[in-house]
Amino acid sequence: MAKLGVNIDHIATLRQARRGQEPEPVTAAALAEMAGADGITIHLREDRRHIQDRDLRLLRETARTRINLEMAPTQEMVKIALDIKPDMVTFVPEKREELTTEGGLEVKLAKEDLGKYIRLLHEGEILVSLFIDPDIDQVKATHKAGADYIEIHTGRYAEARNKREEDREFNDIFNTVKIASKLHLGINAGHGLDYWNIKRLLQIDEIEEFNIGHSIIARAVMVGMERAVKDMVEVIKTGVSKNF
């Protein structure tokens, strides 16, 4: 069965709206773990719009599962990762003006710089994943750069407006996964996934983990963090979405 990584960035977004102390992202992470999450994902952005450095430090001290740190491929962020030692770093593209990560890394054009950062993180015994669009050339470039994993950007699939678009995006993901598997890369997936659209992707056995944030946090506002996470774990386990 695929694993679930819960992204808690939106808990921090709500806190930062008032620059206060609540809600506490680390508490949300603990509740997610108790509800069955296999890991916690956070994105420490360069502008610190939601997750703060103290959140990362506290999470490293308290987490009982795995920490996946999403971050831009920069010297500053690599230095932070080597100090905190998350279980995995996922390099993602980052633009100040975007609401959320809009697409995958252009690995082919940044292969040398990415390779340098990957080697530094490997020296620190940290696994490295690259967040990429479902594109075979990007997978091959990821492999050449020396990363351990890919995380497939599932945004276009999640936002498909009709069955034809969904089929096309699903096929792109499927073909990307098969190539990555042949290259012995680990495979994660995420972005825009919810309790319904994830079901089709569960058919792809090679996907090891789904990283999901917004839909879980949105449901948690209504029913609580533990219930929202348990419901997603159940969907991943059974392939059935309840009538929420």
Query: CA 201 to CA 134: how far, in whole Å?
Result: 13
Which spans in the chain are helix H? 9-16, 25-34, 53-62, 75-84, 111-123, 136-145, 155-158, 163-182, 198-201, 214-223, 225-238
DSSP labels for 167-184? HHHHHHHHHHHHHHHHTT
5 φ, ψ (degrees, to nearest 5)? -105, 125
Told to judge if 226 belongs to the known catalytic residues of this protein, a careful annotator would answer no
Residue 213 in contact with residue 9, Cβ under 8 Å?
Answer: yes
Q: Phi-psi region for residue 48, left (φ > 0), alpha (ψ -120 to 50) or beta?
A: left
43 belongs to the catalytic site:
yes
Q: Identify the active-site residue in 10, 43, 143, 153.
A: 43
- Which of 10, 33, 50, 70 is an active site residue? 70
End-to-end CA distance of the chain: 22
Active site residue 151: no
Burial of 211 (0-12, 13-18, 19+ CB in 10 A): buried
Which position among 50, 143, 153, 191 bears the catalytic label?
191
- Residue 131 CA to residue 153 CA, distance in Å, equals 6
Please give the positions annotated as active site.
Answer: 43, 70, 191
